[in-house]
Amino acid sequence: MGLLSLGTPLAWDDAKKYADHVRTHGIAQFLHIWDRLKDRAGDELLWGDEVEYMVVTFDNGKKHAKLSLRQTEILEKLQTITNDMASDRGETDSVPTFHPEYGRFMLESTPGSPYTGSIPDLLSVEGDMRYRRRLARKYLKPHEIPMTMTSFPRLGTPGVFTEPYYDPADAVSSHSLFVPEEITNPHARFPTLTANIRRRRGSKVAINLPLYIDDRTPRPFVDPTIPWQRNIYPEDPEAKQGAALIDHVYMDAMGFGMGCSCLQLTFQACNVAEARRLYDLLVPVAPIMLALTAASPLWRGYIADVDCRWDVVAASVDDRTEEERGLKPLKESRFQIPKSRYGSVSLYISDEWLNRPEYSDIEAPFDPAIFERLKDHGIDPILAKHMAHLFIRDPLVIFSEMIDQDDTTSNDHFENIQSTNWQTLRFKPPPVNSPIGWRVEFRSMEVQPTDFENAAFAVFVVLLSRAILNYNMNLYIPISKVDENMARAQRRDAIHTQKFYFRKDVFAPGQPSPISTPASSGTSSPIDPTATNGIPLHKERKMRNCFPPPLKPETWHPQNPIEDEYDEYTLDEIINGKNDHFPGLLKLIYAYLDTLDMCEHEQVRITQYLDLVRRRANGSLITPATWIRNFVRSHPAYKFDSVVNQEINYDLMVAVDEIERGIREAPEFLPPHLCRNADLNGI
Ligand code: ADP
Ligand code: MG
Ligand code: MG
Ligand code: MG
Ligand code: MG
Ligand code: MG
């Protein structure tokens, strides 16, 4: 959740007085980093994941699964344990880290140190994730389980959904009708963030997900669980005044979005140019991975007609004023802003030739004074615009003790704005005084119920990132099409129902395809003998960084209309290929794998991960979202009225935990031969 500064947080009326101060000094801090580190080069591939959990407590007698609000104690305990482990071992690198998150029922874990590009590290991801989960599980209470659910199905339902129970009437930060103050991490940053989003916006956030209309869902659906007549907070009438839509699941607090769990990956690039190139190349991949990892069809006790969290989180932190949202003419606010501060990327950032300006084709307001200041400092207009775009936002949480900073040694003001721009990709400059280089964070994926899946998607994305760089791929499509893909990715069963915009020719002009023709059809073969066009390879034991940018052919002119560059494809075609001209991302990954020196056992393990992605894409395996939806709809207590009651929720949580532990079969979702052959040394 970004930085956790300590001190006294300012309420919105005070904080907003310092907005320009924070922006001015934030930019100064970025410029100090830039001046010192813009030429930093030669960093190796280091990468890492972040896995977020919800701690669920099971009352087996009452068949009730609730969110445990013991985050503070659990984290203290885990930190004591991990500190002891580190001092026993005399090092911290192998000891995982547990972090706080927004929800008081959440935990986040990261590996003790980032993985390198080595093959053994690639194959250690699943074990590392399982180790972290086991560690968390071991130090919880007997009936508590850390679960990797993207959304908790009964968060915000009437009655009891947390342990202990709190009354939503006490929600002094969010003023929610549904969730109490105590679902939020008590650290001052989080309640302040919640309250300041509401105050800045001028109303509560309003989230409306289309309801999944089942055979016996009452129509029109006017939600009987909304306390329409409550009168405690000034915003209470908003629901009946139009904020809550008919035939939708209405939610009104930051916790509904930031209380979701996800799976993130961070990659260190060789240098800043490679970081910018990788960022851009992954922008069109983000919605594809969102669709493939879809895991969140249940919200506030209902089945929704969407499969993913993305738009919920975006709306849950949408702090834009009415003027910024275009509902009123600009008077007090400075810009009309099309998106929430949680949203998909609006600008490509590479300054290399493949990035044609026409690709960044949506409205992305930027602060002109900041833009000029960055340019005057010597920063190219593309990066200057990216930063000036992030910096249209106000800082939401300011600690009075932290207002005056030494801009040469702190990056706190910079991070204040940067880390509350929650986009599909994040371009992460090196921190001050650290050995860490320029990084890119991939943020769209939903967390999966099992670590086999989480590892599979991590391995897929890291391999894809290497294949993309190694083969000089070009994945640019207009950002407006990426945004359309984000919307499609969240629709119910997107894999079967949607097509996605993707680039037709995925190689940079003048770059040979590593796939020879005719393409072989067996995409699951770990080694495609034709993959290298017969060119002898020097095989490497390590995935590397530092790929020179593709050379611009002398004859190349950016004259073809960009509309000719992309088409619509199914996920199966994007992942598994359509024809020789459109080989599919997996085939390129296999070609890349063929440049690595791996033993058979390693190939088998990697193929198991890639097979999960292959089969999700071709529909022969279902997503967690589909599995969860099917589970609810086939539960004996389900009345085909779109309601997920306490008993169904309990049985669902039990089932998910059993799948995770490998004691329940769900072959349509995770066939045992895929994930249980893995020889996970030391687990
Ligand atoms: P945030 O919450 O700000 O995104 P975290 O610290 O929670 O960041 O997670 C950062 C991830 O980046 C972790 O998986 C960590 O292992 C990984 N990481 C740490 N150092 C590097 C590095 N130099 N290059 C790439 N990844 C790194
Ligand atoms: Mg997190
Ligand atoms: Mg984190
Ligand atoms: Mg974070
Ligand atoms: Mg336990
Ligand atoms: Mg992160």
Q: Between 189 and 519, whose confidence is greater?
A: 189
d(CA 92, CA 84): 10
Which candidate, 144, 73, 141, 148, places its Cα nearest to that of 109? 148
d(CA 78, CA 510): 53
Where are the alpha helices (H) located in 5-118, listed in sequence order?
A: 12-15, 19-37, 71-89
Mean pLDDT of 414-431: 98
Under 8 Å between Cβ of 244 and 207:
no
Which candidate, 209, 205, 233, 103, places its Cα nearest to that of 161? 103
Strands (E), 86-206: 97-99, 106-110, 115-116, 144-147, 162-163
d(CA 400, CA 404): 9
Percentage of residues of the chain with pLDDT beyond 70? 95
Note the pLDDT of residue 3. 54
Using the mean position of ligand 6's atoms as its centre, give its distance from the Cα of residue 50 in Å. Answer: 6
Under 8 Å between Cβ of 292 and 574:
no
Mean pLDDT of 630-636: 98
547-602 tens-digit pLDDT: 999 899 888 887 779 999 999 999 999 999 998 778 999 999 999 999 999 999 99
Using the mean position of ligand 1's atoms as its centre, give its distance from the Cα of residue 445 in Å. Answer: 16
Radius of gyration of the chain (CA): 24
Note the pLDDT of residue 675. 79
Q: Between 383 and 91, whose confidence is greater?
A: 383
Mean pLDDT of 417-430: 98
CA dihedral angle for residue 304, residue 306, residue 308, residue 313, rounded to 10 degrees: -70
Q: Which of 87-91, 309-313, 506-510 has the highest mean pLDDT?
A: 309-313
Mean pLDDT of 354-371: 97
Which candidate, 265, 277, 389, places its Cα nearest to that of 338? 389
Q: Confidence class of residue 676 from pLDDT cuts 50, 70 and 90? A: low
Catalogue the long-range contacts made by 120-125 (C-beta closer than 8 Å, 24 or more residues apart): 122/459, 122/462, 122/463, 122/543, 122/606, 123/602, 123/605, 123/606, 125/49, 125/455, 125/458, 125/459
Using the mean position of ligand 6's atoms as its centre, give its distance from the Cα of residue 1 in Å. Answer: 7
d(CA 105, CA 321): 30
d(CA 504, CA 35): 39
Sign of CA dihedral 214, 217, 220, 224: negative
Note the pLDDT of residue 93. 86
Mean pLDDT of 524-528: 42
The atom of ligand 1 lying closest to the CA of 110 is 14
Mean pLDDT of 315-328: 98
The residues near 369 (Cβ < 8 Å, ≥ 6 apart) are none
pLDDT at 521 > cutoff 60: no
Instruction: For ligand 1, atom 1, name the residue with the nearest CA.
Output: 2
The atom of ligand 1 lying closest to the CA of 435 is 23
End-to-end Cα, the chain, rounded Å: 29
Mean pLDDT of 159-170: 98
Under 8 Å between Cβ of 28 and 375:
no
Using the mean position of ligand 4's atoms as its centre, give its distance from the Cα of residue 20 in Å. Answer: 24
Instruction: For ligand 1, atom 15, name the residue with the nearest CA.
Output: 48
Note the pLDDT of residue 5. 61
Q: Confidence class of residue 528 from pLDDT cuts 50, 70 and 90? A: very low
For residue 200, give the H/E element and its range: helix 189-201
The atom of ligand 1 lying closest to the CA of 43 is 23
Q: Where in the chain are the domains?
A: 162-257, 451-533+560-675
Mean pLDDT of 496-515: 91
Ligand 1 binding pocket includes 465 (Cβ within 6 Å): no
Indicate the residue type of 637.
A
The atom of ligand 1 lying closest to the CA of 50 is 14
Note the pLDDT of residue 537. 64
Q: Which residues lie near ion ligand 3 (Cβ < 5 Å)?
A: 50
Which candidate, 172, 171, 152, places its Cα nearest to that of 162? 152
d(CA 461, CA 198): 36
pLDDT at 388 > cutoff 90: yes
Ligand 1 binding pocket includes 485 (Cβ within 6 Å): no
Whole-complex ipTM: 0.95
Q: Confidence class of residue 4 from pLDDT cuts 50, 70 and 90? A: low
Mean pLDDT of 289-301: 98
Q: Between 89 and 348, whose confidence is greater?
A: 348
Mean pLDDT of 316-343: 98
Tell me how far CA of residue 539 lies from CA of 62, 197, 499, 589, in angstroms.
58, 52, 37, 15
Low-confidence winner among 223-232, 325-334, 535-544 (lowest mean pLDDT): 535-544
CA 486 to chain centre: 12
Tell me how far CA of residue 407 lies from CA of 26, 240, 275, 414, 419, in angstroms.
8, 48, 24, 9, 17
Mean pLDDT of 357-377: 98
Note the pLDDT of residue 368. 98
Which candidate, 480, 477, 501, places its Cα nearest to that of 489? 501
458-496 tens-digit pLDDT: 999 999 999 999 999 999 999 999 999 999 999 999 999
Ligand 1 binding pocket includes 266 (Cβ within 6 Å): yes
Task: State the chain's mean pLDDT as an integer.
Answer: 94
Under 8 Å between Cβ of 42 and 108:
no
Instruction: For ligand 1, atom 3, name the residue with the nearest CA.
Output: 2
pTM value is 0.96
Helix (H) and strand (E) counts in the chain = 22, 18
pLDDT at 59 > cutoff 70: yes
Ligand 1 binding pocket includes 436 (Cβ within 6 Å): yes
Using the mean position of ligand 3's atoms as its centre, give its distance from the Cα of residue 261 in Å. Answer: 11
Cα 553-554-557 angle, rounded to 5 deg: 85
Note the pLDDT of residue 122. 97
Note the pLDDT of residue 266. 98
Note the pLDDT of residue 515. 81
d(CA 14, CA 85): 43
